[in-house]
Amino acid sequence: MVVSGATIDSLLKEKEQYPPSAAFRKKAVVKDDAFRLDAAKDPEAFWARMAKELAWIAPWSKVLEWNLPFAKWFVGGKLNVSANCLDRHLSGARRNKAAIVWEGEPGERRVLTYHDLWREVNRFANVLKGLGVKKGDRVTIYLPMIPELPVALLACARIGAVHSVIFGGFSARAIRDRAADAESHVIVTADGGYRRGAVLPLKKIVDEAIDGLDVVRHVVVFRRTGVEVTMREGRDRWWHELMTKADGECAAESMDATDPLFILYTSGTTGKPKGIQHSTGGYLVGVATTTRYVFDLKEEDLFWCTADIGWVTGHSYIVYGPLANGASIFMYEGAPDWPEPDRFWRMIEEYDITTLYTAPTAIRAFMRWGDEYPKRHDLSSLRLLGTVGEPINPEAWRWYQKTIGGGRCPIVDTWWQTETGMILITPLPGITTLKPGSATFPFPGVSAEVVDEKGDPVPVNKGGYLVISKPWPAMLQTLYKDPERFKQVYWSQIPGKYFTGDGARVDEDGCFWLMGRIDDVINVAGHRIGTMEVESALVSHPKVAEAAVVGRPDPLKGQVLVAYVVLKRGEAGSDSLRQELREHVRREIGAIAAPEALYITDKLPKTRSGKIMRRVIRSLVSGQEIGDTTTLEDPGAVDEVRKWLAEVEARKS
């Protein structure tokens, strides 16, 4: 991608502010600005202090070795991630504290204490060693959201193997490409997993994926659903049989801080998989620190990040960040609306969950389903809310704060990426005045800027390119086996700075407002408009639940805006409503942003993690190939978009 155009027009303005309550501030982990100011004076010294909260086998000789674009954190230091997440919690009261509280989609419940989890991880680490896995080997993991998934990750970390988790919705082709690229000798999977009452045939998909792929020598299968599967003699082994024979103790491998911990392949388009490689020491310092301070973590919290561990959010804020802090995490296997749309709220009430970290797209779906579902349940256990995955529009932010948080819970609207490993822009809930739709400030010790294509800062409230100007601990080390691509994708656009690919602006108070992907910035008659702002304007209409806006080539204007809108339950589409929505956008942000075409549809193409696949819609309206859609939650949503396009063409003829 080559960036062009100095700035992005920012049209959306939001004035509401929500300071932290005196009661929340009084008990907060961070109560004043000293924490942020201290980090600003000397970021390296700050990160060194944060690192000392972990257990090190050997101290580091240098905090940061920076040879642009390659960073090495805590050089010379040695530690083990699994031991930091488990062993160091066993000598005190946390030994019998819940580490994982889990509910399966059919309703089964399990609780693993820190000692239980330690025992399971040790056994599975010995299972892997028995299959010939050594330090530095790659292990591919393709499991549903069950406790055995974090067990497998922590077992790999314990013996120094590099794990590559593949999201349970990916296709056989995606698994094959990733396993081949990582040269994984072992794949860990299950017979199946549950999703909306149906069984996903995971083992069958793996069989198809590795047919003829000689690099895979062993497949370990956990029995989750009891469906019949084919077990190949000499290759396939049952998890429970191997665990029964495995020794209950496995020494934690001493790892260099700069050793790789995991590879996570980015999803999406066709072509060679892009393996994001993260380190051991820097990554753990970054996620442990941000978990504690962003989520104001307390010993008694039950922390629920609703992501799948197949995504980086699950790696960082289900497994490594919370467990390094000795927190109790909640895990749920299935869909949020199964068997009814109140599944999340029922579980929050029953388990007394205190922290909820979810995606804006999920929040907009909850809005669409209606307030009656959360109102069925007592959500008073919640004390902190969070959002992740994409910018949250102000209307959804306010609904989340009022309907789910009861007006009393701060919202940490976080910005980060697979590549960044950890949260980089976020409120600190005890001290930050919140603005609906703004991720507010960089996390202490993080240097973020909004610049033009020359790398120069843009004026206040003018959109530009979000870059990170200094290294941070959890940053990606490289792209696996492809350092040149790493340089080109992330470090060549704005020389000397990490190019995020996102647009943003900084307001008069220094707060950051994310404007979506640069790819989603549309040039309409010379105005560069971020689609997120138009989507936010549409969702602020009382009848709209969700919106996706894309650009379509136009011979006169260059591009025009095309909007797809999903209405709230009980609302009906009409030509008059379409016109009303266009007028609403004009009033909210200006005539230049009014969609040229606006379609009302029942569903939008989304991944199973809840993100709208704008790429699919953009390809369809532009008449291009839509590429890989293996992560789609409901392929029928693509047909919805096609239906509208066909009707438009029919009207023209």
Angle of CA points 476, 123, 155, to nearest 5°: 0
Per-residue pLDDT averaged across 563-576, rounded? Answer: 91
**5, 428 contact by CB (below 8 A):** no
* Residue range 188-237, pLDDT digits in tens: 999 999 998 999 999 999 999 999 999 999 999 999 999 999 999 999 99
Residue with token string 């927190």: 327
Q: What local confidence, expressed as pLDDT, does residue 323 receive?
A: 98
Q: Is residue 138 classed as helix, strand or coil in its secondary structure? A: strand
Helix (H) or strand (E) holding 621: helix 614-622
pLDDT of 4 reads: 44
Task: Flag whether pLDDT at 2 surpasses 60.
Answer: no
434-442 mean pLDDT: 97
Q: Is 472 exposed, middle or buried (0-12, 13-18, 19+ CB in 10 A)?
A: buried
Nearest to 441 by CA among 494, 383, 509: 509
User: Please, which residues bridge with residue 275 across strands?
Assistant: 265
Strand 328-332 relative to strand 302-305, pairing: parallel
pLDDT over 90 (residue 266): no
pLDDT higher for 414 or 557? 414
pLDDT at 270: 41
Using only the alpha carbons of the chain, give its radius of gyration.
24
Phi-psi domain of 533 (left: phi exceeds 0; alpha: psi -120 through 50; beta: other): alpha
Average pLDDT, the chain: 91
Q: Does residue 571 form part of some domain?
A: yes
Split at pLDDT 50, 70, 90, the class of 12 is low
Question: In the structure encoding, which two tokens stand for residue 295, read together?
Answer: 């989520």
- First-to-last alpha carbon distance for the chain, in angstroms, is 37
Residue 624 has pLDDT above 80, yes or no: no
- Model confidence at 272: pLDDT above 90: no
Q: Is residue 569 part of a domain?
A: yes
- Dump pLDDT digits (tens) for 469-525: 999 999 999 999 999 999 999 999 999 999 999 999 999 999 999 988 876 667 666
DSSP state, 143? -
- Structural contact between residues 635 and 629, judged by C-beta atoms closer than 8 angstroms: yes
Question: 508: which residues sit within 8 A by CB, 6+ positions away?
Answer: 460, 461
Using CA atoms, how far apart are residues 140 and 143, in angstroms rounded to an integer? 10
Q: How far apart are CA 16 and CA 22, in angstroms?
A: 19
Q: How far apart are CA 190 and CA 540, in angstroms?
A: 43
Secondary structure (3-state) at 568: coil
Contacts of 304 (CB under 8 A, 6+ apart): 329, 330, 332, 348, 353, 355, 356, 357
Question: Could you read off the pLDDT of 325-361 as tens digits, one per residue?
Answer: 999 999 999 999 999 999 999 999 999 999 999 999 8
Residue 463: strand pairing partners: 8
- Whether 388 has a pLDDT exceeding 80, the answer reads yes
Is position 583 within any domain?
A: yes
E strands, 106-216, where?
109-113, 138-142, 162-165, 186-190, 193-195, 198-200
In a domain, 141, yes or no: no
Residue 205, amino acid: I
Tell me the residue range of the domain where 615 lies: 525-652
3-state secondary structure 292-354: HHHCCCCCCCEEEECCCCCCHHHHHHHHHHHHHCCCEEEEECCCCCCCCCCHHHHHHHHHCCC
> What was the pLDDT predicted at 273?
76
Which residue, among 83, 41, 77, has the nearest Cα to 62 in the 3D structure? 77
Residue 267 is given by DSSP the state P
Cα 197 → chain centroid: 25
Rounded Cα distance between 269 and 395, Å, is 31
Handedness of CA 294, 300, 305, 309 (dihedral sign): positive
Average pLDDT over residues 547-559: 79
Place of tokens 């066993």: 90
d(CA 564, CA 616): 12
CA–CA separation, 265 and 174 (whole Å): 10
Give the separation between CA 314 and CA 145, rounded to whole angstroms. Answer: 10
Q: Is the pLDDT of residue 529 over 80?
A: no
Alpha carbon separation from 577 to 358, 533, 538 (Å, rounded): 31, 20, 12
389-401 pLDDT, tens per residue?
888 989 999 999 9
**What pLDDT sits at residue 361?**
84
Euclidean distance between CA atoms 158 and 310, whole angstroms: 19
Rounded to whole angstroms, how far apart are CA atoms 485 and 85? 33
What is the rounded distance in angstroms from the CA atom of residue 627 to the CA atom of residue 348? Answer: 38
Q: How many beta carbons lie within 10 A of that of residue 331, not counting itself?
A: 24
Q: Does position 644 have pLDDT exceeding 60, yes or no?
A: no
Whole-angstrom distance, CA of residue 167 vs CA of residue 145:
10
Query: For residue 531, what pLDDT is reported?
Result: 77
Residue 593 has pLDDT above 70, yes or no: yes
Q: What confidence tier does 651 reach under pLDDT thresholds 50, 70, 90?
A: low
Please tell me the pTM assigned to this model.
0.87
In the DSSP assignment, the letter for residue 196 is T
Can you read off the two tokens belonging to residue 409? 């819970």
Of 580, 538, 528, the C-alpha closest to 11 is 528
The amino acid at 329:
I
Contact 344, 359 (CB under 8 A): no
The per-residue pLDDT for range 136-176, each reduced to its tens digit, is 999 999 999 999 999 999 999 999 999 999 988 788 888 99
What does the alpha-carbon distance between residue 440 and residue 201 come to, in Å, rounded to a whole number?
42
pLDDT at 171 (0 to 100): 83
CATH number of the domain encompassing residue 591: 3.30.300.30
Q: Are 269 and 628 in contact (CB under 8 A)?
A: yes
List, for residues 283-305, the tens digit of each pLDDT value.
999 999 999 999 999 999 999 99
CB 74 within 8 A of CB 84: no
Tell me the pLDDT band of 527, cut-offs 50, 70 and 90.
Answer: low
* 235: its two tokens: 């290759």
Dist. CA 103–CA 350, nearest whole Å: 11
Does residue 382 sit within a domain? no
Examine the pLDDT at 311 and tell me if it is beyond 80.
yes
Q: Which residue has the higher pLDDT, 528 or 404?
A: 404
- Mean pLDDT, rounded, for 74-96: 97
* Per-residue pLDDT reduced to its tens digit, 39-67: 999 999 999 999 999 999 999 999 999 99
Average pLDDT of 175-182?
94
Most confident by average pLDDT, 306-310, 557-561, 584-588, 602-606: 306-310
Pairwise CA distance, residues 574 & 207, whole Å: 48
pLDDT at 294: 98
Of 591, 593, 586, the residue nearest 523 (C-alpha): 593
Contact by Cβ (8 Å): 311, 609: yes
d(CA 378, CA 339): 19
Q: How high is the pLDDT of residue 81?
A: 98
Q: Does 497 reside within a domain? A: no
pLDDT digits (tens, 9 = 90+) for 253-262: 999 999 999 9
**Residue 614 included in any domain:** yes
- Greatest alpha-carbon span in the chain: 76
Residue 334 backbone dihedrals phi, psi, to 5 degrees: -115, -155
Question: Does residue 517 sit within a domain?
Answer: no
- Arithmetic mean of pLDDT, 400-416: 98
> Number of helices and strands (H, E) in the chain?
21, 30
Number of domains in the chain: 1
pLDDT at 11: 58
Find the helix or strand (DSSP H, E) in which 98 lies.
strand 98-103
- The percent of residues in the chain predicted with pLDDT above 70, rounded, is 89
Name the band, by pLDDT with cuts 50, 70 and 90, for residue 267.
low
